[in-house]
Amino acid sequence: MATLLRMPEVAANATHATLQAWTKSEGDPVAIGDCIAEIETDKAVVELNADTAGVMGRQLIRAGQDVEVGAAIGVLLVNGETHVDIDALIASAAPNASNAPAAVGEVSAEVTPSSALVSGAAAPAAQTSPARVFASPVARRLASERGLDLGTLKGSGPNGRIVKRDIDLAHSTAAPAPPVRPTTSALQPAGDFTEVPHSGMRRTIAQRLTESKSTIPHFYLTVDCRMERLLALRAEINATAPRKISVNDFIVRAVAVTLRDVPEANVGWTDAAMRRYHHADVAVAVSTDAGLITPIVRAAETKSLAVISAEIADLAARARATRLRPDEYQGGSFSVSNLGMHGVAEFSAIINPPQAAILAVGATQAVAVIEDGVVQGAQVMRCTLSVDHRAIDGALAAQWLAAFKRSIENPLSMLI
């Protein structure tokens, strides 16, 4: 029989996702494992693959639309199936007295498919209470935030289910909106600016950075690293190596070696416990058109400089093409943010929780230094370590930064 395709939970705790594009048109044959659509998460684009074979019957959602997790997005027909009442199929799978979400306080029956394809057959009948109110999770959350009683509202969704638009309508008619104080943008003449809606990725970045800066007690340590030996070794390697090694590749390798040698700093903070990571999983900040993303070089302390270089190049390319898998950018034990290639001399980065530290790397610059009372030229790179004081004390952070400086200034030691 025909099967409803539903929006999967492509990222942990996600309530919505964007259907970026359909890769199958209505009437196209679908084989098991075929990509049906591309789903945009807050960080990347993932494929929605078919669990069963059939024919693409109807696309219920247009490309670019934001969809609630679990909502029907399409219909897959069985091969040879021609006479199917798709509207009835959708209606039969809509929330009703036998398969609606449970009321607040009960075990939630909201469907979060572990598979992309969920059968459209009705769920077995369940014992329901006359007082139960059927509402979507988003509607319940908004009603709670706005102090609305769901029992007094009439739903406009399938079978009377209360949905987001019902909450918005009730909230707008409950009381007049408070007077809004004019802002600078509100006083600007129309046409002086263009408003670009926030992407899911930009919203996530804003939320996480605000949370980090507001709740984590940051402190900062800065060190200057002499770069003459590293630059000379890099030039020697690149003279014969098939892949050109960047300064950033050396930095990631040095970070990994330092985390191996000072494991007390390879930690993360949670409210319940301290996480002591077994490997140096180094997240490398990559700038994309949609925002910043941090793909991870896993167990970097076990990998050679050449392998690290190849992985970073591959991860960065796929990050800019929004083709990273969630496991390639979620997690990590430490982050590196390098703005040296943009000519930035020095900056401080914001910690990416639950990690406890991030290294901000500036440009290598020619400066004058004094050695043995003699002024001479030197190539110096300034690095600033941002640290979560709950997880790492000042002395330990200084120890880590000193060990990192030694690796950078004696680059052969990090290659052994």
At 238, list the tokens: 């690149």
Between CA 24 and CA 13 the distance in angstroms is 27
Is residue 161 classed as helix, strand or coil in its secondary structure?
Answer: coil
Is residue 116 classed as helix, strand or coil in its secondary structure?
Answer: coil
Residues 21 and 126: beta-carbon distance below 8 Å: no
Cα distances from 123 to residues 86, 99, 126, 344, in angstroms, run: 18, 6, 8, 59
At 207, list the tokens: 């939320």
**β pairing state of 45-49 and 35-40:** antiparallel
Count CB neighbours of 361 within 10 A. Answer: 27
Question: 265: buried, middle or exposed (CB in 10 Å: 19+, 13-18, 0-12)?
Answer: buried
Burial 247-264 (b: 16+ CB within 10 A, else e): bbbbbbbbbbbbbbbbee
389 tagged catalytic: yes
At 397, list the tokens: 């952070």
Cα distances from 6 to residues 72, 76, 302, in angstroms, run: 4, 11, 41
First to last CA, the chain: 61
Between CA 51 and CA 34 the distance in angstroms is 8
Residues 122 and 98: beta-carbon distance below 8 Å: yes
* Beta strand spans in 294-373 (E): 296-297, 334-338, 357-371
Among candidate residues 319, 270, 313, the one with its CA nearest the CA of residue 293: 319
Count CB neighbours of 282 within 10 A. Answer: 28
Is residue 273 classed as helix, strand or coil in its secondary structure?
Answer: coil
At 218, list the tokens: 């940051």
Residues 135 and 150: beta-carbon distance below 8 Å: yes
Catalytic residues: 389
